[in-house]
Structure 1
Amino acid sequence: MTDQERRQGRDESEEERADRMWGDLIQEVRVAQTGVQILFGFLLTVVFQQKYADLSDVDRTIYIVTVVLGAAATGALIGPVSLHRLLAGRRVKPQAVRLASRLTQTGLFLLLTTMASALVLILRVATGGSDVTWVVAAVVAWYLVCWYGLPLWSRHRHTTR
């Protein structure tokens, strides 16, 4: 493939592009939905464990924040499914794809914060309340590199003007 062919991209209409992008988005959302649903389900069971009564007020607050973040992430990552159902056949797929993409990005950010918050709680309980800030910061930095840094670097490096 020549550079000129690569720059021109695909020969598709706006609707065909929206169909392709929708399929890609739904595949991506399936992966994130599974992860957030498992994490959220786990979080919902914590409050019913015997050890929950022994948590400090700070750890209980962290837990509540984590559950709320998980609920918000779940809503944002399931949102594209409802969006598709309610807008199907309305001839607004390009707009729906853009909105679903924003919901997915929001959901991924909320998933990142949920995972970071859950990690804070788990490490605090596991270490007896020790300062775990540096460990959590390192993991969040890794998430940021994997989820945002590398994709944005690749987009910048490989996108032609």
Structure 2
Amino acid sequence: MRLLPLLLLAFLLSACSAEVPGDATPAPVFTAGTPVELRVVTPGGGTTLLDKQGTSYEVGPVALVLDRFTKVGASFRPEVTGWVVDVALPSDLAEKFGKLTEEQVGKQVAIVADGVVQSAPEIQQPITGGEIQITGKFTKDDAEALAAALGGN
């Protein structure tokens, strides 16, 4: 009689662990509340834009508009620099972003929303695949504000 509950439990566990055929569900794409412009910082020429602290940046024309994301959020990563902003792009924008970063390694790219420079990180290396991590000396509030400006929560 004790064997029946064990067999039933084994059957239930095997049913719960069966693989589901098919591809993984792609991440949902959401539209940015405000499209984000990427502009290469070009000291000595271009358009002057300010950040929230009043620092001015000379920037070139819009290089890419990010208007859709699959992920935007702030997270604490002590192994990097502390607070970072994680961004993921849909495949079409990821490809364009990858090309932009390949062409701009070593240069600053201003992230502009509503005409205000939200951040101006230096491109350290080409960023392909659409997974972006914006690092800096962010406080929690800074990282969350940048994520919100990019359309995250």
Q: TM-score if structure 2 supplies the norm length? A: 0.25
Structure number with the higher strand fraction is: 2
Structure number with the higher helix fraction is: 1
Larger Rg: 2
